[in-house]
Amino acid sequence: MKLPAAICVLLLSAAPALAAPQCDADLARLESGARVFAVARYGKAIWTERHNGRSVAHLLHAWQGTENGAPRILTLRETASGSGPTWDSARDPKELKAKIAWRKLDGVELEDVIRVSGGPLEGEWKLACEGRPPIKVSFPRFADYPAKARPYTGRIARMKVPRGLGENLRLRVKESLGDDDRPSIAGRYIRLTWPCGTACAGTGLMDARTGRVIVAHHMSGWGEVDESFEPIQGRLDSRLVVLSGRREERGFVGRHFYVLENGRLRHLRSVEVERTFPQKLE
């Protein structure tokens, strides 16, 4: 959902500075004297309401967790026409009267000092640490999808770009094949990538035997990654293909798993992960 321009201005003008150390386990932790509020997940809701004959945009941030063992929700409400952001709190999501889209892996943006105006967390809180919980995910394995044929060692066929692509994309696909490229996925497929902007790459595969090209997705959204990172990955002895990032600039940043079947990519599952992709593929 596109964020209203007025809300964007509010967010930019109130961008918090994170100076607290990283947590060992919690998404974030706040302290108020002997009270401790540990955050487990973050979410937000965006909606519009009619007020005095016009639409007013609302944005609600929510941090759900526990305060000394009791369930609590810290909220930050922003209204395009309001006087400013308001910190509040609740005991139950039903009290918020908004449908929260919870995202367990999102980073936390909290101010160093938070003054909560009402609810069970009312009072002044200091950010003790910020971070995220350890992510435990299971990925499909390359060994579970073995290649059905021996590696292709013959002459690399002339590329056959699919019809229906725009001229610019056709040119980028053609230029993505290097003179020294050889099959590295599923026995006979050559991995293709082409630039589409900062931290963005188009991805595809070419059948070395026939020259047929499979255009996959434009991937983007990754953060600081090591030199081994590739937006499209696979192995010569496996039909599993992994795309990493955000597909077509929509949805979440994650690992997107496909399997090659009859010359096509069939989607298996997608797993949301951190933008630095710390989990290694097996």
Q: What confidence score (pLDDT) does residue 132 get?
A: 61
AA letter at 235: R
Comparing CA positions, the residue from 166, 225, 223, 216 lying closest to residue 192 is 216
Q: Is residue 17 very low, low, confident or very high in pLDDT (cuts 50, 70, 90)?
A: very low
Q: Is 120 helix (H, G, I), strand (E, B) or coil?
A: coil
The total number of structural domains that make up the chain? 2
What is the token pair recorded at 265?
């990519």
pLDDT at 237 over 80: yes
pLDDT at 21 over 80: no
- Both 165 and 102 in one domain: the answer is no
Q: Is residue 14 very low, low, confident or very high in pLDDT (cuts 50, 70, 90)?
A: very low
Q: How many CA atoms are closer than 13 Å to the CA of 177, on its beta-carbon side?
A: 24
- Both 13 and 117 in one domain: the answer is yes
- Both 118 and 146 in one domain: the answer is no
- Both 67 and 124 in one domain: the answer is yes
Helices (H), the chain: 5-13, 167-175
Comparing CA positions, the residue from 282, 280, 281, 276 lying closest to residue 132 is 276
AA letter at 21: P
Q: Is 60 helix (H, G, I), strand (E, B) or coil?
A: strand
Give the number of other CB atoms < 10 A from CB of residue 228: 8
Q: Is residue 77 very low, low, confident or very high in pLDDT (cuts 50, 70, 90)?
A: confident
Q: What is the DSSP string of 62-106?
A: EEEEEETTEEEEEEEEEETTSSS-EEEEESSGGGG-S--EEETT-
pLDDT at 242 over 90: yes
Q: What confidence score (pLDDT) does residue 18 get?
A: 42
- Both 104 and 180 in one domain: the answer is no
> What mean pLDDT comes out for the span 108-132?
88
- Both 158 and 254 in one domain: the answer is yes
**Domain closes at, from 130, 156, 171:** 130
Q: What confidence score (pLDDT) does residue 109 get?
A: 74
**Domain closes at, from 85, 105, 130:** 130
Are 194 and 205 contacting, i.e. CB atoms less than 8 angstroms apart? no
> Which of 2-16, 53-67, 83-97, 141-155 is the most confident on average?
141-155
In the predicted model, what is the mean pLDDT of the chain?
86
Q: Does some domain include residue 156? A: yes
Q: Does some domain include residue 277? A: no
> What mean pLDDT comes out for the span 161-166?
92
pTM: 0.58
Compute the distance between CA of residue 259 and CA of residue 239 in angstroms, rounded to an integer: 5
- Both 150 and 233 in one domain: the answer is yes
- Both 27 and 124 in one domain: the answer is yes
pLDDT in tens, 199-230: 899 999 999 999 999 999 999 999 888 888 99
Q: Does some domain include residue 279? A: no
Strands 28-32 and 200-207: unpaired
- % residues pLDDT > 70 (the chain): 85
pLDDT at 9 over 50: no
Are 37 and 58 contacting, i.e. CB atoms less than 8 angstroms apart? no
Full domain range(s) for residue 176: 142-272
Task: Please work out, in degrees rounded to the nearest 5, the angle formed at the alpha carbon of residue 57 by the alpha carbons of 56 and 63.
Answer: 140
pLDDT at 114 over 60: yes
Q: Does some domain include residue 135? A: no
Q: Is 170 helix (H, G, I), strand (E, B) or coil?
A: helix
**Domain closes at, from 99, 130, 161:** 130
Are 13 and 52 contacting, i.e. CB atoms less than 8 angstroms apart? no
Q: What confidence score (pLDDT) does residue 8 get?
A: 44
Cα-based torsion angle of the residue sequence 211, 212, 214, 219 in order, rounded to the nearest 10 degrees: 30
Are 69 and 60 contacting, i.e. CB atoms less than 8 angstroms apart? no
Query: Which is more confidently placed, 68 or 203?
Result: 203
Of 45-49, 123-127, 198-202, the poorest mean pLDDT is in 45-49
- Both 149 and 126 in one domain: the answer is no
Q: Is 142 helix (H, G, I), strand (E, B) or coil?
A: helix
Q: Is 3 helix (H, G, I), strand (E, B) or coil?
A: coil
- Both 104 and 34 in one domain: the answer is yes
Give the number of other CB atoms < 10 A from CB of residue 208: 23
- Both 119 and 157 in one domain: the answer is no
Query: Which is more confidently placed, 8 or 217?
Result: 217
Q: Does some domain include residue 282? A: no
- Both 12 and 44 in one domain: the answer is yes
Q: What confidence score (pLDDT) does residue 40 get?
A: 85
